[in-house]
């Protein structure tokens, strides 16, 4: 299997994701420049964190015009895996692969710290190796991570079990105090209706090795590898 990691102008987590894919889970991995129109055989495309195009207008808004986005849309439509992390989640909402939008953090401050996530669903290629209800400690680093959608969209996400991760406390309780940015219903990550596109604000690639003091994020990458091995 192969990962393709997109480099957009302003990306700064591309090599982190490449390192985990290549050196931690031992998969083939290739960096994909934003002007590419070929995904080079990638089974899972990762849109990493950073500040694509300087986040001008709003986070992710200009990235949807990058030439590589059209093959990513086709890849997703054909059932290929697409994983957006932080700025990548923002990009996926802008290009229409995921519903809703990411707004300024509720307290208008950039946040960089660890948070707890509760795993809500495990029947996705991104969470198949996790346990439902499993609590992960994962870092965030964002100023626009406040997930918003109207009530009808949020209700549909709930009905379809598309809410994959929620912010919680260390005991798994979903409280307002555990919500770092004001996201609706403590949402930290969602998938599309077909379950092959995932967007999440926290950074699992930054906590996938015990050397860094925490490997809770590794389960997401292991899930991707295991899911593709079963295809």
Catalytic residue among 120, 142, 205, 207: 205
Task: Check if 203 is active-site.
Answer: yes
The Cα–Cα gap between 94 and 160 comes to: 21
Catalytic residue among 34, 75, 142, 203: 203
Task: Check if 205 is active-site.
Answer: yes
Task: Check if 19 is active-site.
Answer: no
Catalytic residue among 44, 86, 168, 191: 86
Q: What is the 3-state secondary structure (H, E, C) of 1-32?
A: CEEEEEECCCECCHHHHHHHHHHHCCCEEEEE
> Tokens for 83?
């994983």
Buried b (16+ CB within 10 A) or exposed e, 148-182: ebeeeebeebeeeebbbbbbbeeeeeeeeebbbbb
Active site residues per annotation = 86, 203, 205
């Amino acid at each position: 299997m192969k990962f393709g990691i997109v480099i957009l102008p302003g990306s700064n987590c591309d090599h982190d994701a490449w390192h985990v894919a290549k050196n931690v889970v031992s998969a083939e991995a290739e960096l994909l420049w934003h002007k590419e129109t070929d995904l080079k055989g990638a089974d899972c495309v990762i849109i990493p964190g950073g500040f694509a195009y300087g986040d001008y207008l709003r986070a992710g808004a200009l990235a949807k015009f990058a030439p590589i986005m059209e093959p990513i849309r086709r890849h997703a439509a054909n059932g290929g895996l697409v994983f957006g992390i932080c700025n990548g989640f923002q990009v996926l909402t802008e290009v229409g692969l995921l519903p809703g939008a990411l707004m300024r953090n509720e307290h208008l401050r950039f946040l960089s710290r660890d948070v707890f996530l509760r795993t809500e669903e495990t029947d996705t290629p991104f969470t198949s190796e996790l346990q439902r209800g499993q609590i992960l400690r994962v870092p965030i680093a964002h100023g626009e991570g406040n997930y918003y959608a109207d009530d009808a969209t949020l209700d549909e996400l709930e009905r379809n079990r598309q809410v994959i991760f929620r912010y919680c406390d260390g005991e798994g309780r979903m409280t307002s105090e555990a919500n770092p940015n004001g996201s609706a219903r403590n949402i930290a990550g969602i998938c599309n209706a077909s379950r092959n596109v995932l967007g999440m604000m926290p950074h699992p690639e930054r906590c996938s090795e015990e050397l860094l003091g925490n490997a809770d994020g590794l389960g997401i990458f292991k899930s991707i590898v295991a899911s593709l091995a079963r295809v």
